[in-house]
Amino acid sequence: MQNEKERTKLRIAKAQTCLYRAGAMLKGTVNKVVLGEKKKGEGKREAYLLTYKGERNKTRTVYIKKQRVADAKRMITNYQKAKRTLDQLVELNMKLFKMT
């Protein structure tokens, strides 16, 4: 029982370290949208939108520059990893709570 308790504490510490090192995060999705032709008639315009659920579960949309799309996607991946780690951390804490 004591061994299992110590292993659980180590896993909790590891999960906390992962959360600490997660880096910058964004919640949502990045979508590419094609707009109508330019005023000069030279092809179509492209834009990138970050869509996320904000305060009070309200959907919000923000334009992002093409140069920042890779950064935004990396930050979204960081958020998803942190969310999974946080869920794991809660489960480990529940397990430890039940042991004591």
Distance CA 82, CA 19 (A): 6
Give residue for tokens 């896993």: 11
Q: Where are the domains of the chain?
A: 2-99
pLDDT confidence of residue 69: 97
The pLDDT confidence band at residue 1, using thresholds 50, 70 and 90, is low
**Distance of alpha carbon 65 from alpha carbon 50, whole angstroms:** 10
59-82: per-residue pLDDT in tens?
999 999 999 999 999 999 999 999
Q: What is the pTM of this model?
A: 0.82
